[in-house]
Structure 1
Amino acid sequence: MHCWKTINIKREYRTPRLVFYAIIIFILVFSFSFIIIGANRPLIYDAHHFPLFILVCLLLYPLHKLIHYYSLFSYRKSVKLKWRFEFKLIPIVQIRIKKMLPKKRYMFILLTPFIIVNTLLILVAIFLPYYSHYACLLLGYHCGICLVDILYFIHLVKAPKNAVIEETPKGYEILVPPSFSNIPNN
């Protein structure tokens, strides 16, 4: 196998830019979802469960990572979980995969939390209209969390069909069989 491309989103975009993009995504997703979902519902929103909202905000990131982990269930013996703190305050869960994964499987793993959590939040916003403001805030927040996954997904879409993905300290390497190494990448 030959390395077709190495991807490291944090090195490519840097943390401040990723945070800025995540904030923009949060604002846009919240604004549009709140307007669309609340368009035909002139309601008074309920604020009685604000502590529950804060708890869900705190648990959303670990839930996101847990969904990543369970989508890797067939590779569980090759997965290592590690906790660290960013800026000495924000807990970060790292999932390290010690095995090469097929491109399609890796793309599925990247999108699984986005699809599951966002679908649940949209359903909550639709079926519990008095709490739709909380659901729209959580939807925007989760889309911001998914930014890095989506950026990796975009890079993988351009990779050859039979590529495999390997995690290294430098980032994610897209590996292809030797016959693909002579084909120029876009």
Structure 2
Amino acid sequence: MMNCWKSVNINKEFGLNRIYIFSIFIGVISFLILFIPLSMYHGSNEVKDYGLFPVVVVLFLLPLFHRLMHMLPLLLSYKRMKVFLKFRKRVFPTFFYQCKSKLSKQTSILMALGPTLFISAPSYMMAYMFPDYFVYFMLITSVNLAMSFTDFLYLYHFVKAPRRCIIENAKDGYDILIQRKEA
């Protein structure tokens, strides 16, 4: 038998408006903090400008890649999941996923860190290696870090959870379950 140790619903706990404000703040601050050292390192290299269209396309597709990077640790650990494709306002493609099995604490931590490990870190390294495009890579890094704000909040709860817990998808968040001690 399993008991619910904690139900985590970030939207209910903090509120959607507060989450959006903190996400924007994280994105702007991360861009400033990461951009200044790289611009000093690259010096007076000329940044290649391809216009606004490629930036808009990349930023339009970034939420899809963000979700895919959440799913990657689940796919690599052979977890079964259900994927739903939807269009928001008939223009913005997005999809939702729901894992059909319960997850261990380690898998949940990797799932929450997936976009940071697989998008933000490589993008920052590419900004370091390609001085002509470092502004674009820094923009991708900072927007992805802003989108990862809720992931970091969930990660905080996953790390605080007991060692042998099981994490299950709930309706609007996650349930952290522990084994009930038999008397």
Same fold, judged at TM 0.5 (above): yes
Cα offset, 1:30, TM superposition: 0.5
Compare 3-12 and 168-177 and name the one that shifted more: 168-177
Please tell me whether residue 21 in structure 1 is matched to residue 49 in structure 2.
Answer: no
- Quick one: percent identity of the two aligned structures? 27
**Residue pair 2:73, 2:107 contacting (<8 A) in 1 also:** no
CA distance, structure 1, for counterparts of residue 59 and residue 81 of structure 2? 26
SS of residue paired to 1:20: helix
Which among 69, 72, 76 is matched to residue 70 of structure 1? 72
Please tell me whether residue 143 in structure 1 is matched to residue 145 in structure 2.
Answer: yes
Cα offset, 1:179, TM superposition: 3.0
Aligned residue number for residue 42 of structure 1? 44
- Note the 1:3-22 alignment, pairs <5 A: 3-22=4-23
CA distance, structure 2, for counterparts of residue 137 and residue 42 of structure 1? 19
Aligned residue number for residue 155 of structure 1? 157
CA distance, structure 2, for counterparts of residue 56 and residue 75 of structure 1? 29
Cα offset, 1:113, TM superposition: 1.7
TM-score of the pair, normalised by structure 2: 0.88
| Cα distance, 1:66–1:170 mapped onto 2, change above 3 Å | closer
SS of residue paired to 1:38: helix
| Cα distance, 1:108–1:11 mapped onto 2, change above 3 Å | same
Cα offset, 1:26, TM superposition: 0.6
Aligned residue number for residue 32 of structure 1? 33
Aligned residue number for residue 132 of structure 1? 134
Please tell me whether residue 120 in structure 1 is matched to residue 126 in structure 2.
Answer: no
Compare 39-48 and 80-89 and name the one that shifted more: 80-89
CA distance, structure 2, for counterparts of residue 89 and residue 16 of structure 1? 23
| Cα distance, 1:170–1:129 mapped onto 2, change above 3 Å | closer
| Cα distance, 1:87–1:14 mapped onto 2, change above 3 Å | farther
What do residues 9-36 of structure 1 show as CA deviations (whole Å, max 9, x unaligned)?
1111121111111100110011111101
Aligned residue number for residue 184 of structure 1? none
Compare 79-88 and 117-126 and name the one that shifted more: 79-88
| Cα distance, 1:19–1:92 mapped onto 2, change above 3 Å | farther
SS of residue paired to 2:45: coil
How many residues of Structure 1 are paired with residues of Structure 2 in the alignment?
Answer: 179
What RMSD in Å do the two structures reach over aligned CA positions? 2.0
Compare 48-57 and 138-147 and name the one that shifted more: 48-57
Q: What letter matches 1:19 in structure 2?
A: Y
CA distance, structure 2, for counterparts of residue 9 and residue 68 of structure 1? 17
**Residue pair 2:109, 2:155 contacting (<8 A) in 1 also:** yes
What do residues 51-70 of structure 1 show as CA deviations (whole Å, max 9, x unaligned)?
22222111111111112222
